[in-house]
Amino acid sequence: MNTFDHIYALARQIPYGTVATYGQLARLAGNPRMSRVVGYAMHVCPGDVPWHRVVDRTGRLCPGGETEQRALLEAEGVTFTPEGKADLARHAWLGNP
DSSP assignments along 52-67, one per residue: GGEE-TTSPPPTT-HH
Residue 6 has pLDDT above 90, yes or no: yes
Predicted TM-score (pTM) of the model is 0.94
Q: If you average pLDDT over residues 7-14, what whole number do you get? A: 97
User: Which tens digits make up the pLDDT trace of 22-65?
Assistant: 999 999 999 999 999 999 999 999 999 999 999 999 999 998 88
CA-wise closest residue to 53 among 80, 83, 76: 76
> Are 79 and 87 within 8 A, CB to CB?
yes
> Are 54 and 21 within 8 A, CB to CB?
yes
